[in-house]
Structure formats: C-alpha cells, structure tokens
C-alpha cells in the first residue's frame, strides 16, 4: 500500500513525524498554504491535476478540509478519503484501511472510526449481558454472581424533599440500576419512609438503607426491592420480610469482617433468607483499605453469592478527583469478582455515576478479553489526554512576542458583565446603558448573542470570551466557577516549569 498525504505548511512537521509510524509507504505533499483546515478541495485539485500520481493507492487529505474529496478522485483516478481531524489518529485510519474498511470523502476518518468503535463496544457489552452468570432476578434486573456485567447502586439522601429526590433519579436514570434511599442513624419516621419509598419505587428500582429494622420493614412493604443491611444485630428482626427483598449482608462488627459476613450468610440461609448479596465492607484509605480488600478476597473464595463493594467509602474520604479512583476501584472489584458497586454523588464525588458506568463497561470488556483496560474503544480520560500533541514555533510563525507577566487591561468600556453558572446553564448579565441577561450552555453562542446586543470594545470582548470559556468548562466538569478566579490549580505547570504563568 502506498499513500499520498496532503498537508499545509504549519502541519507539515507533525504529519512527517506521524507518517514514520504508519507501517506503509507514504509520501507527503506540502501545498503552499499556511493552515490545512482552511484549504478547499478545489484548491487541492488545482495543485494535483498536473502531477503524475499513478503509483499511489490512496490520497488522504486533511480531515477538516472544506468540500467533497470525490472531486480529487475524479481528477486523479485515485481513491481519495478525508483523513483524521487529529493527525495523531492517522495510524488508526491506516490500520483500518489495511483491514479493508472504507472511509468517506466528506466525513473525517476519526469520526467514522469512532462510530465503528461504538458499534463494536455496544455489541460486545450486549453479548456480555446475555451470557452473564446470574444468581437471581429482581423486577427484571438480573443480579450477576461475578462480573461481567456489573450493576450500579446509587445512594441518595432520603431526608431531602421528594421533589429533589425525583429530580436526582431523573438525572441519573440511565447511568445506575438501583437507587438506595438512605436514612441517617437515629431516624425514626415511618411515615416519611413509606411515602418516599412508595413514590420513588414507581420511578426506579429501589433499596432502603436504615439503621432501624422498623424502617427497613416498612420500606420493603412500600416497594423497596433491596435492604441495606442485614447484619448480626438485626437479622432476627427482619424475618417477616425474609422472602420479600434482596438483602445486602454486611457485618456490624469491624473485626474479622470476612468471617462475620460468611457466618451471617449461613445463618440467613438457615432462617430462609433466599436472596443475598455479600458485602464485607470496604474500609477508607489509611484506616484499613488494603486489609478490607483481603477480606473481599476471602469472602469471594468461600462463597458463590453475588458481592457488593461500596466505592463511596473511598471516594468520599480522600481529597482527590473521583474519576481515577472510581476507575481503579472498579478494576479491583472486577479482579475480586465483585459485580455490584455502590456509590454516591455529593460534592467532589458528583459525577461518580457516569464515571463508574463507563468504568464498568471498560472493565467488563477487559475481563472478557483478558487484557489491560486500555485501547478498548471507550475511556475515562476526562482531564488528561492519552497522547501529547507536539507543537512548536517555526519559520512561518512570524514575529514571536513572549508574555509571561500579568498584563492589566488598558481600555475597558464603562459597561460590565457578571457571569455565573448553576448545574445546568451559564448566565451572563450585562450592566450598561441597558441591563439584560443571556442564558445557555455554550460559551461561544452566549458570547455571540451578547455582542449582537451590546457594543463593547475588543479588549472587553476578549475578557468576556475568556470568562465564558472557563464557565463552560466548569459546567461540563461539574466544577465551581467564580469569575476572575482560576478554574484549576496551576499544579502541573508550576511544578514542572520555572516560568511564571497567568
């Protein structure tokens, strides 16, 4: 296979670097144009029509070029495709071509690769779901003994208003399997439990979590399908509902948790509790996390029942971003044969349902393929990128002006803006000759609508655009946004560079 890669001046060095790893014969044609994405198909045709190109099997043009590459194919007689938007993804396209996949003359190749990967992932997850080893079924939900697949339980605060709880269920509905309605120790309001469990159970499969046996019983009668927890202290109090729900077996004692969990299981079976999920309790970091993982291993080796792990015990008690923690804990659960995972969304752990939902898909595929959870077609790379894109100044960069100190604004006009965000949208309010607000989710679109209505100078417009970009990133990541304050700590750039950044 011989391929001709078309590019422009600024991208040439990057294309050259990537082409050496493609594993096929390639030539690069750099056209006399500064930016590849601004070229048109017609411009490329004009530059190719006088060349002898018969030795090539494919011509690949930049993915962001405007127009239909079919025109190039008609003029040259050589199969022509749009390449990837990101040059670093070109090796994926070349490998797909080797495997017989066709690409498009109008759609960038990486988009097609992404669509194909999504189809493959979806098909594999469906197969894993169909072929899982299940212990029992609860209102249509099959509970696996071991992963894959996984099931996700989300605990919510049962003392919140019914409206807030309903909104939370709607928000996470597609990400989790069971909602755990939790009530704090000492809570004794049977009426509240019955009302909320009844209403919420009509929306989603639910569990009841309470230290009160009375509340657990009334929760099951009101519609809860799972009980958190069955332990050595309350087992005799719950005999009346022993066949009406699934019981999460978790020791009350903090000593010998694996042994105690297995003893409770044996006693529960003797008493007629027939649907059990074992949870020897995951301990927080520094206070027994590693030892508790060993307890899970012991329980797994001595039982065939489904198991549950409360990832929230770790994510809640370490001040670190939850995404990586949820990823590694899901991987550990997969190795231990724990298929049911409990989480919570609050403050720094908000977003955990999405993170664990994605992690369980990754680990399910990795377990099935017996490979590391990477290059699977889906990932949890939210704050960092897998590949570093190298950029550098070159002879086409013109005059180089270096700015490392903070520059004060010189010419801001009299009006000013206040930018805020909530969990769902960004709000820009303008205080000038007239007052108005623009609301939305795209910082760019909000900015464009704003400058249609307000006459601000370029320096003010630059500042507003900068702040709107920060607000949009914060909205997408679930972070706080405070106007004029940095969105992130400058942790990496301060640690690895001696240049002061603003």
Residue 276, beta-bridge partner list: 247
**What is the C-alpha to C-alpha distance for residues 241 and 116, in angstroms, rounded to an integer?**
48
Query: According to the model, what pLDDT value does residue 14 have?
Result: 87
**What is the C-alpha to C-alpha distance for residues 471 and 77, in angstroms, rounded to an integer?**
49
Asked if 136 contacts 143 with a C-beta cutoff of 8 angstroms, the reply is: yes
Q: 251: which residues sit within 8 A by CB, 6+ positions away?
A: 231, 232, 257, 260, 261, 264, 280, 281
Residue found by looking up tokens 């805020």 in the block:
420
Burial 351-380 (b: 16+ CB within 10 A, else e): bbbbbbbbbbbbbbbbbbeeeebeebbbeb
- Is the pLDDT at 244 greater than 90? The verdict is yes
Per-residue confidence band for 408, with pLDDT thresholds at 50, 70 and 90: confident
Query: According to the model, what pLDDT value does residue 189 have?
Result: 94
> 100-104, 203-207, 350-354 — which is least confidently predicted?
100-104
The separation between CA 361 and the C-alpha centre of its own chain, rounded to angstroms, equals 11
- Is the pLDDT at 501 greater than 60? The verdict is no
Q: 368: which residues sit within 8 A by CB, 6+ positions away?
A: 124, 128, 148
pTM for this predicted structure: 0.84
Q: 36: which residues sit within 8 A by CB, 6+ positions away?
A: 6, 7, 8, 10, 11, 62, 64, 65
Per-residue confidence band for 100, with pLDDT thresholds at 50, 70 and 90: confident
- Using DSSP's 3-state secondary structure scheme, residue 6 falls into strand
Stretch 326-333: mean pLDDT: 98
**What is the C-alpha to C-alpha distance for residues 259 and 279, in angstroms, rounded to an integer?**
12
Query: According to the model, what pLDDT value does residue 498 have?
Result: 60
Q: Domains in the chain, start-ordered, CATH in brackets?
A: 2-119 (3.40.50), 132-369 (3.20.20.20), 401-496 (no CATH)
Give the percent of the chain with pLDDT over 70.
Answer: 96
What backbone phi and psi angles, to 5 degrees, belong to 25?
Answer: -75, 125
Q: Could you give the C-alpha distances from 272 to 225, 304, 484, in angstroms and in order?
A: 17, 17, 62
E strands in 370-450? 416-421, 426-431, 435-440
């Amino acid at each position: 296979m011989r391929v001709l890669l078309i590019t422009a001046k600024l991208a040439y060095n990057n294309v050259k670097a990537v082409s050496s790893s493609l594993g096929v014969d390639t030539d690069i044609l750099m056209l006399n144009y500064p930016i590849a994405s601004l070229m048109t198909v017609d411009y490329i045709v004009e530059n190719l029509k006088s060349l002898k190109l018969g030795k090539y099997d494919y011509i690949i043009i930049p993915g962001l070029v405007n127009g239909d590459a079919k025109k190039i194919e008609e003029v040259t007689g050589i199969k022509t495709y749009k390449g990837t938007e990101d040059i670093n993804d070109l090796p994926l396209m070349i490998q797909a071509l080797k495997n017989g996949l066709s690409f498009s003359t109008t759609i960038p190749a990486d988009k097609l690769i992404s669509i194909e990967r999504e189809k493959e992932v979806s098909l594999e997850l469906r197969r894993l779901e169909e072929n899982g080893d299940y212990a029992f079924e609860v209102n249509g939900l099959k509970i696996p003994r071991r992963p894959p697949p996984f099931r996700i339980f989300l605990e919510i605060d049962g003392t919140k208003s019914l409206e807030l709880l309903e909104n939370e269920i709607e928000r996470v509905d597609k990400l989790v399997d069971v909602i755990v309605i939790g009530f704090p120790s000492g809570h004794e309001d049977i009426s509240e439990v019955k009302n909320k469990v009844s209403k919420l159970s009509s929306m989603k499969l639910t569990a009841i979590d309470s230290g009160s046996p009375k509340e657990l019983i009334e929760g099951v009668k009101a519609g809860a399908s799972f009980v958190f927890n069955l332990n050595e202290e309350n087992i005799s109090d719950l005999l009346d509902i022993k066949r009406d729900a699934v019981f999460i077996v978790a020791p009350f004692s903090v000593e010998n948790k694996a042994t105690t969990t297995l003893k409770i299981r044996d006693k529960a079976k003797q008493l007629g509790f027939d649907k059990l999920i074992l949870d020897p309790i995951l301990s927080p970091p520094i206070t027994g996390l590693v030892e508790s993982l060993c307890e899970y291993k012991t329980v797994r080796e001595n039982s065939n029942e489904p198991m549950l792990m409360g990832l929230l015990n770790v994510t809640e008690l370490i001040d670190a971003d939850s995404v990586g923690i949820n990823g590694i804990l899901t991987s550990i659960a997969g190795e231990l044969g724990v298929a049911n995972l409990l989480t919570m969304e609050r403050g720094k752990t908000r977003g955990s349902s999405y993170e664990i939902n994605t992690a369980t898909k990754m680990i399910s595929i990795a377990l099935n393929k017996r490979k590391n959870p990477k290059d699977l077609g889906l990932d949890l790379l939210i704050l960092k990128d897998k590949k570093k894109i190298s950029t550098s100044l070159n002879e086409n960069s013109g005059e180089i002006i270096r700015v490392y100190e903070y520059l004060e604004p010189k010419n801001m006009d009299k009006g000013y803006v206040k930018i805020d965000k909530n969990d769902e949208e960004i709000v820009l309010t303008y205080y000038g000759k007239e007052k108005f607000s623009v609301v939305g989710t795209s910082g760019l679109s909000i900015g464009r609508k704003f400058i249609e209505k307000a006459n601000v100078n370029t320096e003010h417009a630059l500042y507003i655009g900068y702040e709107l970009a920060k607000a949009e990133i914060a909205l997408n990541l679930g972070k706080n946004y405070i106007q004029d304050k940095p969105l992130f700590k400058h942790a990496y750039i301060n640690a690895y560079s001696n240049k002061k950044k603003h």
